[in-house]
Chains A and B, each alone.
Chain A
Amino acid sequence: MIKQLVIMAAKLVSGSNIRWLGCAPIVRQRVYFANHTSNLDALVIWAALPPPIRDTTRPVAARDYWINSRVKLYLARQVFNAVLIERKKPTSHDNPLADMLQAMGQTHSLIIFPEGGRQADGELAPFKSGLFHLAKDRPEVEFVPVLVENLNRILPKGEFLPVPVLGSVTFGAPIKLEPGEPKNAFLERAQAAVKALNHL
């Protein structure tokens, strides 16, 4: 019930125009990686997925942001089943990569933001290496680039009241780690795949 309300609210607030350009919305294990400009990103991408895919897809989010209020914690745990990771001080006990791999198991997909934080100006920052390690550990999984647009205008960093500009979510063609591909080459290719969706 609350879940349905949250999904409806996310779609209403963002007025999202959802486009699947490079792959079909089917149930299979995927990592959706997206640009990050607003706290609404994870919620809006998650809500944009059709129900059967949504049920097995978990957004990866920063633990420090999502546990500091009971409402947020409730949303993260009960509504969108988020994978909360430590982004500030990862240790061998508190390793984001291990958490993500464990969360995926054999059935779940992930939504991740490889820039590591929200970008105030909307430009794409270089991707962090977590994406590469995920691809290396799970080579059979599809890595789908996602571009969210205008959400930083709906709810910019530091604001708490949303403005109803129309947002959009675009899903592109999956990429895979080539055998022997170096880390930086893969990360740059992944970043370019998100950027390329800008002009479609």
Chain B
Amino acid sequence: MTLQIDKSTCALVGGVVALLVTATLTGWILSAVTPKDKARGTIQNLNARVKAWWMMVALFGVAMATGGIGSVVLFGFTSFLALREFITLTPTRRGDHRTLFWVFFVIVPLQYYLIAIKWYGLFAILIPVYAFLFVPIRSALAGDCEHFLERTAKIQWGLMICVYCVSYVPALLSLDIPGYAHQNGKLMFYFVLVAQISDVLQYAWGKTLGKRKILPRVSPNKTWAGFLGGILCATLIGMGLWWATPFTPWQSAGMSLAITLMGFGGGLVMSAIKRDRGVKDYGQMIEGHGGVLDRIDSLCFAAPVFFHLTRFYFT
């Protein structure tokens, strides 16, 4: 895999760094001028989030700089950690032990190996077909029938969301888009940027103007103002980044809208699972954000849709 670093790549990276510098400075000023009261907790959380963002951007930058393979490794580890959080919350039984061993140590690396060698025909079906059938067979061999369907379904679901869906992010590097050779790194950057900035903007709009909650029982933090403001602004930002993509401005707006809407849906579904299991976050790995899965819930749902839309219309 070779990725070309050109002017527009530098512009994208520079833009993100400028954004983070602004956010860091804003956070400092806010924490200096805010008196000690309720709002202080929010600002501390905001600063922790910004700090974690620096880390994540740095990691992502290193992954991109290694010419693609680093991204595959990065998202492979992300999948592993996310699946770990997911399975921890899922009450599996003793009979699932060997199945889980296969899932963690064979299926996850295999999926990312297939991504690295760009074997579309197999990475697109490895988990929905082969792992889907293998998981229940291996669990049945362990001989424990209690809650069998439930246990199997949960492992399959974890694999689909945390591994299959996430692997579509580095899979963007394997698309052959006419007139866009060696530039796929920018496409991946664009996707992650739009999905994540939509989360940030929904959070920002929700915290400042948000009053009416959309679905308080599923996600207490999602408000109409956050939803509309976040989606609209992120779509506009995505539209403004068309020069880094193979899309025209309007196509880029449509793609960004698809990414942000799927991302919103992902956040909602993953919240519903957390509420059902009675927890607030999937983990504590990323300060201010919660677990890995809390950070990538929107990516999970948006990545396969973005990949297939691009593949269908642009290759």
Contacts and interface: CB of A to CB of B under 8 A. Distances in A.
Interface of A: 15, 17, 120, 150, 153, 156, 159, 161, 163-166
A80 B98 CA distance: 29
A150 B94 contact: no
Contacts of A165: 84, 87-88, 100
Given A156-B94, A163-B87, 12 more contacts: A15-B84, A17-B284, A153-B92, A153-B97, A159-B97, A161-B98, A161-B101, A163-B100, A163-B104, A164-B80, A165-B87, A166-B85
Contacts of B101: 161, 163
Contacts of B283: 166
A151 B109 CA distance: 24
Interface residues of B, number: 14
Contacts of A163: 87, 97, 100-101, 104
Interface string B162-197: 000000000000000000000000000000000000
B104 A164 contact: yes
Nearest to A163: B100
Nearest to B93: A153
Interface in B95-115: 97-98, 100-101, 104
Nearest to A162: B101
Given A163-B104, A164-B104, A166-B283, A150 B88 contact: yes
Interface in B123-166: none
19 contacts: A15-B84, A17-B284, A120-B94, A156-B94, A156-B97, A159-B97, A159-B98, A163-B87, A163-B101, A163-B104, A164-B80, A164-B84, A165-B84, A165-B87, A165-B88, A165-B100, A166-B85, A166-B88, A166-B283
Interface-centre pick from B85, B88, B98 (highest chain A CB count, 10 A): B88
A17 B88 CA distance: 12
B171 to A, nearest CB: 24
Contacts of B84: 15, 164-166
A84 B77 CA distance: 38
B142 to A, nearest CB: 11
Contacts of A15: 84
A161 B92 CA distance: 16
Nearest to B100: A163
Interface string B193-229: 0000000000000000000000000000000000000
A61 to B, nearest CB: 23
Nearest to A167: B88
Contacts of B284: 17
A155 B284 CA distance: 22
Contacts of B94: 120, 156
A157 to B, nearest CB: 9
Contacts of B88: 150, 165-166
Contacts of A159: 97-98
Nearest to A157: B94
A129 B87 CA distance: 37
A161 B85 CA distance: 19
Contacts of B92: 153
A164 B87 CA distance: 9
Interface-centre pick from B85, B94, B98 (highest chain A CB count, 10 A): B94
Contacts of B80: 164
A65 to B, nearest CB: 20
B45 to A, nearest CB: 19
A118 B189 CA distance: 49
Interface in B261-281: none
B136 to A, nearest CB: 17
A164 B85 CA distance: 9
Interface-centre pick from A150, A161, A164 (highest chain B CB count, 10 A): A164
Contacts of B100: 163, 165
Nearest to A152: B94
Nearest to B283: A166
A150 B85 CA distance: 12
A130 B193 CA distance: 59
A107 B88 CA distance: 37
A156 B101 CA distance: 12
Contacts of A150: 88
